[in-house]
A and B are shown apart, each in its own frame.
Chain A
Amino acid sequence: MKELKILYLYPDMLELYGDYGNIQVLKYRMEKRNITCKIDQYSIGDAAPDFSSYDIVFAGGGADNEQSILAEDLVKYKENIKQAIQNGVFFLLICGAYQLFGKYYKGVEGNIIPGLEIFPYYTEAILDRKKRCIGNIVLEVELENNKPTKVIGFENHGGQTFNSLSHFGKVLYGNGNSFGNSEEGFFIGNVIATYLHGPLLSKNPEVSDYIIKYCLERKYGEKVELEVLDDTFELKCREQMLKRLIK
């Protein structure tokens, strides 16, 4: 039986917006297709993980307090993580984790939380604490060549991210990387970094299956046709939300 291994980073700290649901969705969609899904967790104080031994690395969003504590911890693994990304391990990074993989995060008081500096973007907190990009969001995303799909989620971030260079999607509804931006997230074949909660994968089975297919093909070196699952609820959900948000 085929198996994919997921490394779940800081589950006790980056767990604010139900982002763990992304892992549950991946696990569900793998197990329905008889693929074993093994999930390891890493948090502060645990033995150093070997990022390259995983198929998927996942990290979500957390409270501001927790985020600065773990930024220090994560930097220790910078080289290991870089190597894993080069090796093609899939990284799914949501919200706070998206920010951490960039150059830096500049706080309201001008304080700089250094990022991993793996990707070119950087994030600056908006000075007015009460202003945040909050609400439903719809993107148009091209996962594979010439196959655009709509991605639905919920954004809730004060940080404004600039210089993404390679965005995840075009914003059809909502804000994106910064207020009124037309682009959202960061995407290269094996990295999706985005502000989208919801959780992201719960309403976007195509994105889930893109990740699973990518990982299987990489690991087993063969073309994969994923078994079609009954996504009636997901499709209905998307239909309802798209009707509401996009005329």
Chain B
Amino acid sequence: MNIIYMILLKIINIILKLFGKQGGNIIGKIAVKLNPNMLAYFKINSPVIAVTATNGKTSTNNCIGYTLEKAGYKVVSNKEGNNMETGILSTLVKNATITGKIKADYITFEVDESYVPKIFKTIKLDTLVVLDFFRDQLDRNGEVETLILKINEFLKTYKGNLVLNADDPNVARLGKANPDNKKVYYYRVQKYEYATTGMKEAGEGKFCPFCKTRLEYEYYQYSHIGKFHCPNCDYGNNEIYKEAKNINLKDRTFEVEGITYKIQDNSIYTIYNYLAVLSVMNLYHIDTEDIIKAFSEFALNNGRLEKLDIKGIPTIINLAKNPTGANVSLRLLREDNEEKELLFVLNDNVADGFDVSWIWDINFDGLKENGVTRIITAGKRPYDIAIRIKTSGFDYEKIIPCENLDKAVEELYKTNTKKYVIANYTSLQPTRQAIFRLRG
């Protein structure tokens, strides 16, 4: 029966393509309707690598795929970021023969945090990468602790490679889920220029997950990411597999084991993601030259630190779905000495979460002092974000809320000052399109 389903799904895929549609989750949605256990149909003989996290899944998964392809391998991946069961099914259907065989050297997935157990109960996972856990859409996802416990439960019987961010106490704890699994690899980034001794932005892991003692930090890189340890039970003292040092955001370089890597981005959080990719590449013995080359070229250009030139005005667009996403974007803006204007687009559609109170966890302090001369707000909740920014002390006469996105973009480009654009989940692509429309 499954073979008939596959033929049917393939035909639907061809029809969708004829109409110029990517498909997204549609194929997967139909597949689950036909057979709720469709995942089990696929015969996968190549290593499966998965990336999960609150922030950074799409970029990291794409970078893993890009680097493997640079090294000459055939990769199947859910590049567009459809990361729930239906998205993964869509990717598999599109890349499988009708008998369910996947021809690839590697399969890489980004996976929504809550779907990890379900998907990899069926599909054999070779490497799991966990980047970070932050508060994210509380009205949809609930508390972050619930998600962590879910993944921890899955890991208790997992025996594959586990690549973990040693500087996130919510992530590093997962390394202890299965004491029999020796294949746990921690990566870390040494203190960067703007690291602080106190927490600057809302964060999660304040207490030791094992003994509830308050964690001590040598420094914070951003949010709760930093060098921590538990003064009571010594949690945090892990053997490090890969460590980045000499972080130079200006030159966009960092160093690991004596080798300098150049990247396109200049943000601390993406360096963490590159370290995750580097760890994976080393586990699969990918040639260093290929990694260096791939890292120097990789750029997602999909509203993730996307750099554009709009009528000669430099513009940086970044997605921010949660406080940490917005905070790292604002960090970038503060670390840039030039004068700039900000466009903040905030929607409250189903996929964003209806609750916009997370914007109060964004640190907007000192924008004027850091060279921000004007702020435009837009999206379905332009006034909420305007109130938030006003309350932080930024002169409200220099905040312009616009209910219409095209008007907001038009307003933004009335001056020649450099632009930073921060947009949340469902507002990101409409914002990019509005900017592209203006560019003509």
Whether the pair A135, B202 counts as a contact (CB closer than 8 A) is no
Q: Which of B354, B357, B360 contacts A24 (CB 8 A)?
A: B360
Query: Contact: A21 with B388, CB < 8 Å?
Result: yes
**Residues A18 and B360 in contact in the complex (CB < 8 Å), given A12-B206, A24-B392, A156-B355:** yes
Q: Specify which chain A residues have a CB less than 8 angstroms from the CB of B401 in the assembled complex.
A: 233, 236
* CB-based contact A15/B202 at 8 Å: yes
B360–A234 touching, CB < 8 Å? no
Residues of A within 8 A of B138 (CB): 16-17, 156
Q: Which residues of B contact A199 (CB under 8 A)?
A: 357, 360
Bitwise interface map of A from 221 to 238 toward B, beta carbon under 8 Å scored 1, else 0: 000000000100110110
Q: A24 to B360: give the CA distance in the assembly, Å.
A: 9
Chain B residues numbered 375-410 whose CB sits less than 8 Å from any CB in chain A? 381, 383-384, 386-388, 390-393, 396, 399, 401, 403
Residues of B near A17 (CB, < 8 A) are 138, 355, 357
A146 within 8 A of B: no
Residues of A within 8 A of B143 (CB): 16, 63-65
Complex partner residue of A136 from B354, B386, B399, CB under 8 angstroms: B354
Q: How far is the CA of A199 from the CA of B357 in the complex (A)?
A: 6
Q: Report which of B202, B212, B361, B387 forms a contact with A203, defined as CB distance below 8 A.
A: B387
Assess whether A42 is interfacial by the CB under 8 Å rule: no
> Among residues 178 to 196 in chain A, which have CB atoms less than 8 Å away from a CB atom of chain B?
none
Q: Given A16-B135, A17-B138, A156-B139, do A237 and B360 touch, yes or no (CB 8 Å)?
A: no
Flag if A18 contacts B358 (CB, 8 Å).
yes
Q: Does B251 interact with chain A (Cβ within 8 Å)?
A: no
Given contacts A156-B139, A233-B386, whether A202 and B360 have CB atoms under 8 Å apart is: yes
Is A28 within 8 A of B145, CB to CB? no
Contact of A202 with B384 at beta-carbon distance under 8 Å, contacts A18-B361, A65-B145, A156-B138 already known: yes
Q: Is the interface of A mostly helix, strand, loop or mixed?
A: mixed
Residue of A whose beta carbon sits closest to that of B355: A154
Asked whether A237 lies within 8 Å of B384 as measured between CB atoms, the reply is: yes
Does A230 lie within 8 Å of B396, measured CB to CB? yes
Residues 116-155 (chain A) with a chain B CB within 8 angstroms: 134-136, 154
Residues of A within 8 A of B355 (CB): 17, 134, 154, 156, 197
In Å, the complex CA distance between A18 and B362 comes to: 9
A63 in contact with B145 (CB, 8 Å): yes
A134's partner among B139, B202, B388, B396 (CB-CB below 8 A) is: B139
Q: Note all chain B residues with C-beta closer than 8 A to A240.
A: 383, 403
| B391 surroundings in chain A (CB, below 8 A) | 21, 24-25, 28, 202
- Collect the chain A residues with CB atoms within 8 Å of residue B354's CB: 134-136, 154
Chain A 18-50, CB-CB to B under 8 Å as 1, else 0, gives: 111100110010000000000000000000000
Q: Is A176 an interface residue (CB 8 A)?
A: no
A63 to B390, CA, bound (A): 28
Asked if A159 lies at the interface with its beta carbon under 8 angstroms from chain B, I say: no
- One of A21, A135, A136, A230 near B360 (C-beta < 8 A): A21
Nearest opposing residue in chain B for A69, CB measure: B212
B281: interface (CB < 8 Å): no
Distance (Å) between the CB of B224 and the closest chain A CB? Answer: 11
Interface size class on chain B is 20 to 34
Q: Mark B177-214, 1 if CB is under 8 A from A, else 0.
A: 00000000000000000000000001000100000100
Residues on the B chain within 8 Å of A202, using CB: 360, 384, 387-388, 391
Q: A234–B202 contact, CB under 8 A?
A: no
Chain A residues near B212: list those with CB within 8 A: 69
CA A197 to CA B392, docked complex, whole Å: 18
- Asked if B96 CB lies within 8 Å of chain A CBs, one says no
The verdict on A198 contacting chain B, using a C-beta distance below 8 Å, is yes
B104 within 8 A of A: no
Contact B396 A233 (CB under 8 A): yes
- Residues on the B chain within 8 Å of A135, using CB: 139, 354
List A contacts of B403 (CB < 8 A). 240
Interface residue ranges of A198-247 to B (CB < 8 Å) = 198-199, 202-203, 230, 233-234, 236-237, 240
CB-based contact B392/A237 at 8 Å: no
Nearest B residue to A244, CB-CB: B380
Q: Which residue of B lies closest to A205 (CB)?
A: B387
A28 to B383, CA, bound (A): 17
Closest chain-B Cβ to A69's Cβ sits at a distance in Å of: 8
Whether A154 contacts B392 in the complex (CB less than 8 A), given A15-B202, A64-B143, A65-B145, comes out as no
Q: Is B44 engaged at the interface, CB distance under 8 Å to the other chain?
A: no
Q: Is B292 an interface residue (CB 8 A)?
A: no
A125 to B: closest C-beta gap in Å = 14
Name the residue of chain B whose CB is nearest to the CB of A62: B143
Max count, chain A CB within 10 A of own CB: residue among B357, B359, B386, B401: B357
Residues of A within 8 A of B357 (CB): 17-19, 21, 154, 197-199
Interface centre among A19, A197, A233 (most CB of B within 10 A): A233
A233–B139 CB distance below 8 A: no
For A25, what are the chain B residues with a Cβ–Cβ distance below 8 Å? 391
Residue from B390, B392, B396, B403 having most chain A Cβ neighbours under 10 A: B390
User: Which of B206, B361, B387, B399 interacts with A237 by CB under 8 Å?
Assistant: B387
Docked pose: A234 CA to B384 CA in angstroms: 8
Task: Please name the residue on chain B nearest to A25 by beta carbon.
Answer: B391
The CA-CA distance from A19 to B355 in the complex, in Å, is 12
* Cα A19 to Cα B390 with chains together (Å): 17
Among A18, A69, A237, the one with the most B-chain Cβ atoms within 10 Å of its Cβ is: A18
CA distance A135 to B355 in the complex (A): 7
- Kindly state the separation between the CA atoms of A154 and B353 in the bound complex, as whole angstroms: 11
B202 and A233 within 8 A (CB): no
Some 24 contacts from A to B, beta carbons below 8 A apart, are A17-B138, A18-B358, A18-B359, A19-B360, A21-B360, A21-B388, A21-B391, A24-B360, A24-B391, A28-B390, A28-B391, A63-B145, A64-B143, A65-B143, A65-B145, A154-B355, A199-B357, A202-B387, A203-B384, A230-B396, A234-B383, A237-B381, A237-B383, A240-B403
Per CB-CB distance, the 9 closest pairs between chain A and chain B, nearest first, are: A18-B360, A237-B383, A21-B360, A18-B357, A233-B386, A28-B391, A236-B383, A154-B355, A197-B357
Q: A197-B355, A202-B360, A236-B383 provided; 16 other pairs, C-beta below 8 A?
A: A12-B206, A16-B143, A17-B357, A18-B360, A18-B361, A24-B360, A24-B391, A136-B354, A156-B138, A202-B387, A202-B388, A202-B391, A203-B387, A236-B401, A237-B381, A240-B383
